[in-house]
A and B are shown apart, each in its own frame.
Chain A
């Protein structure tokens, strides 16, 4: 009896293995690594590339950057990626149709970046475009999303001079946002963007541009909910990062107080930034208190005149830097609040909600109208700890 049990158990296992096993097996080298996706407006519909669709229009051009394996590994060829593209309306449908152009199946687990042209964003909401990427199980939350004013396809066609795979190169640029005050890179990947949609917040994505052989990340594309509003320049992004306290390091420049026409540069090491909402007698206002500690990073004027060993002079510099930072913050406030009327990443709203929940309850419905009128008071305190020189 026991023997029969054993045999039947074994049979069941064998049948399971034979009938169900290996269904998911596909060797690593038999997959097409998609490293980057570009989404453009469908400019010209090429006959062979596309397909006949029963519904909709040819709205997008989706281009995929696919990895080409270097044979042997020793002699790496000039470009190690190639581009396949297709036009249509459903991204999923386009991707599946694109299998007709490939010998190996497309595989999205290692997508690094999604580059979206603003021409598309002016017509369609961001969430509509990203829906496929958030829904599909293969996509990762840490995919970077960039917005460009030019053609997105040409950006993923870019061949990095370092011979890295293009998608990896593009994705790694934003990892340096900690040291680059001109790029607002924290929490801008696919996972966070979807989270912002779910929270009904505004989205801020990094802007990428290409000219000739240069690809550069700087400034931000500003969204109200998922609707594209416009671009914020580097100075505004710097101001925003300082205001929200998301910067790790920063470089602040100004004219030397003693030798105008020559610049003195402050390098931020550590800061303490508090953006606080206040409600007094029904009036909402914000204060931001910043204390910054840092270094003299560069000094271009005459050293004998700009004597950093003189404590008196350092005090003058500290006050001047504080003024400069204040100016920067007010510039950012003007760009976002007055010009675009967007609360970037809904940070002001969430602060109010956290600190003054009762007030938030009252004002949340008319927040969009109210927000541009709320004043912001800035106080900055700069402390220069090191001067970076010796006698």
Chain B
């Protein structure tokens, strides 16, 4: 056998000199030296910036305005560094140089041209007879805004932060040489969606306008529906970075004392960097974030918000989200649809009753099916028991597994249909219908009765007026199934008790979630609860929400 000669093993550094420790140390000291140098450079740059600012600004402000326009411009440019969409427009106004700063695309340029730049530039003649004391006017922003500008909404700003915020909101900032103030000119105009129909809460009769993303538009939608000066709008800015506007709406002489303050307190306590959707606000302000039940009503319908305001509740509109929040929220409120008030009271009452029954079905039906089939077939009438047994004779799985499989399929289909692009979701529906409706049954994996049970359950949960409540029902179904499979009907009853107790102890801004239904002192609320009486008889506001004035009629309203 031939011996392979093995080379002697040596140190890596002997082979490759650049890998020696000495070399590495050398490189490291070089790097440390460079780091030190860069910190020195950084300090020098900071000094330079400080010099640029010249005047010591208060710690909360990035800088303060000076009376020299060039300085101001430099300061602003340092703030808006690398913001390519900020426009700086220099022009000459009455012999002084002026600067208009605005966000491109957010400010209405034609409006600015017409009402700001044009009037200012036309002041070139120093001795215009109409404006004799022109130089006097040009000394203050107030004078300019009062005498020269044609814009409708302006405000004088002395603080740099406010000026920056104004620019970021889409207003234009006017600076003039010699004046150490800025003038914010409201000319906001950006791309937005038109007011459209309510997509998620479509109703048959009654108004169909829905909120869109703009806060001001949304408030307008409510204002337009009521000429009541008691409707108050309080705007807060939430989010460390996004500074999203959040409006709290209420009717001053109706709302329960303390409720608005509580809502305001909770919203102010929100500590987050961004608010992109109202759901985020919702999660921060609810009492029990772990509960599956929605504790804040969401709607995209202005009429619903207005109706809620006049019941003494509080609305929260978040800029950028059509879904508006209403608090307090109870089971009763979630079970009502605006359509109930546009159809005959007897029919509406029947529909509401059905809705309450379907809410029960949506949670418990599969659990009852599993427990009856697996534990208590004696509860069924004989002929029914026989036909169920015959249906189940071919399926190999225990009913619990069968039900879980079916629930899983249902969830997958729902998720697929929601997530898929609209054109494909039709295909998903078809596949679902074929698979579940026929093939699975024919293959003997799942018995047709269970398909019926699960289909009824799904349809029941879809009939809820509130989507978030529908989700809660869907969620609750699974623990109920598990309980039923372990303890039978006994488990289902335990589950019913647990859900009821939880719902009773749940509180949304002080109001019991479901307890109002069983409270005899709230008897007058029952007129518009599970049933709805004709409007003539609904003379009182719900006691539950503690409105200051309980009668809807005018006399005591003052």
Contacts and interface: CB of A to CB of B under 8 A. Distances in A.
Given A69-B393, A73-B390, A73-B391, A27 B382 contact: no
B508 to A, nearest CB: 24
B390 A33 contact: no
Given A28-B373, A31-B377, A110 B391 contact: no
Contacts of A22: 485-486
A219 interface: no
A71 B399 CA distance: 18
A28 B388 contact: yes
A17 B389 CA distance: 27
A25 B395 CA distance: 17
Interface secondary structure of B, over-half rule:
helix
B203 interface: no
Contacts of A17: 486
Most buried by B among A24, A28, A71, A72: A28
A24 B490 CA distance: 12
B378 A29 contact: no
Given A26-B374, A27-B373, A168 B385 contact: no
B516 interface: no
Contacts of B488: 24-25
**Size range of the chain A interface in the assembly:** 20 to 34
B487 interface: yes
Given A17-B486, A21-B487, A71-B394, A28 B383 contact: no
Interface in A7-28: 17, 21-22, 24-28
B392 A27 contact: yes
Given A17-B486, A24-B375, A109-B377, A29 B393 contact: yes
Contacts of A168: 382-383, 386
Contacts of A107: 377
Interface in A40-72: 67, 69-72
Interface string B395-419: 1001100000000000000000000
Contacts of A112: 382
Interface string B339-383: 000000000000000000000000000000000011101100011
Q: How many B residues are at the interface, by size bracket?
A: 20 to 34
Contact of B374 (A28, A70, A165): A28
A33 B487 contact: no
A249 to B, nearest CB: 26
Contacts of B390: 69-70, 73
Nearest to A17: B486
Interface string A254-295: 000000000000000000000000000000000000000000
Contacts of B389: 28-29, 31, 33, 67, 69
Contact of B386 (A21, A27, A33, A138): A33
A52 to B, nearest CB: 33
A261 to B, nearest CB: 46
A22 B374 CA distance: 9
Contacts of B386: 33, 67, 110, 165, 168
Interface of A: 17, 21-22, 24-29, 31, 33, 35, 67, 69-73, 107, 109-110, 112, 138, 140, 165, 168
Interface of B: 373-375, 377-378, 382-383, 385-395, 398-399, 485-488
The 10 closest A-B pairs by CB, nearest first: A109-B378, A21-B486, A69-B393, A29-B392, A28-B377, A110-B382, A28-B389, A29-B393, A28-B373, A69-B390
17 contacts: A21-B486, A21-B487, A25-B374, A27-B392, A27-B398, A31-B377, A33-B386, A33-B389, A69-B389, A72-B394, A73-B390, A107-B377, A110-B377, A110-B378, A110-B385, A138-B378, A140-B378
Given A21-B487, A25-B374, A72-B394, 15 more contacts: A26-B374, A27-B373, A27-B399, A28-B374, A28-B388, A28-B392, A29-B395, A33-B385, A71-B393, A73-B390, A73-B391, A109-B378, A110-B377, A110-B378, A168-B386
